[in-house]
Amino acid sequence: MKKRTLVEFVLAALLFVGAVFLAPPNFFEGSIHSLTGNVVFESKEDVQAELQGLLREDIFQTVGDGAKICLNIQDGEEMYSFKIRKRTDLFDVQSAEPECDGPMAEDITLSFKSSEDFMSFKSGLDMDYFLSDDVSERFHLWPSKFIESGGLVLCEQQFVDRYCPFINEQFTERQRRQLGIGCCGPDTEKPDFWALLLEFLLAYWWLLVILLVIIVIGAAAMFLLTSKEEDQPEDKTEQVYDYIKRSRELGFGDITIHEGLTNAGWDPRVIDAEFERIRKEDLSNYSSRFRRDR
């Protein structure tokens, strides 16, 4: 039993030594990096080279001359800081302290919370990176010349001149408002009518429901009124006419006659029309008698 255990131990040791000698030179170092998730760069020079490569991308060429950006990248226990200056068509990247030349000397100071976050942004170059829900876990804006505590952007003229061309090109008007940089408008893209209509319907659906209810109630009321009028056709108005004439002959006043017809279910408009008809007839008859008497 002991002899078998000793043989297994020796075989395991030989396999381990063979793996060490046959593996690529950076195999174990790379494994440690990927397991810890903390270290990506070997030196600050490596970080600087990656940053310079990033700033040569076309999307950053619209950043205006004179731009001053302080960039910090947390790499494990190391903090790499760089001063970025835009001069004519080129970016100058220099090693610096975490606050570079100081809060009020830098237009913008931002920090990636890990080297992986920085490399993730560099590899994708997608501006939606800054609109994601977990963006605050990836990078942080420090107070600077144009950024107040809490991330509020101070839209001064220098900020507009240096950064708005880049911002307008990379973000829509809605995204700019979401980021708190609406001063960089106006938007050059045409608004999508159907998208705006859908947004309106989703925001004011309750108002549309109320309007629909009002329309239905109004239509029902009109239907009922029309039906009631149809129940009193023109030939039946003669009944009202005759009732008024007979009631007057019996000595009843117009108010009493009107109330009696209303209580019987007649439409007040029909009653008034028949009173007016009788009045005109009486006036016509009086005029005829007056002419004959003369």
Q: Quick one: tokens of 258? A: 């009107």
Mean pLDDT of 222-239: 67
Instruction: Name the CATH topology of 44-189.
Output: Nonspecific Lipid-transfer Protein; Chain A (3.30.1050)
13 pLDDT more than 70: no
CA nearest 72: which of 23, 39, 108, 105? Answer: 108
Would you list the domain boundaries of the chain? 2-36, 44-189, 191-222, 232-293
> How high does pLDDT run on average in the chain?
76
H or E stretch at 141: strand 139-142
pTM of the predicted model as reported, rounded to 2 decimal places: 0.50
H or E stretch at 149: none
Please report where in the chains the tokens 């100058």 appear, as a residue: 92
3-state per-residue secondary structure call for 65-133: CCCEEEEEEEECCEEEEEEEEEECCEEEEEECCCCCCCCCCCCEEEEECCHHHHHHHHHHCCHHHHHCC
Q: What is d(CA 160, CA 145) in angstroms, rounded to the nearest whole number?
A: 13
- Confidence (pLDDT) at 69: 92
pLDDT tier at 287 (50, 70, 90 boundaries)? low
* β-strands 68-75, 78-87 pairing: antiparallel
* β-strands 108-112, 90-95 pairing: unpaired
Q: What is d(CA 219, CA 213) in angstroms, rounded to the nearest whole number?
A: 10
- Confidence (pLDDT) at 113: 84
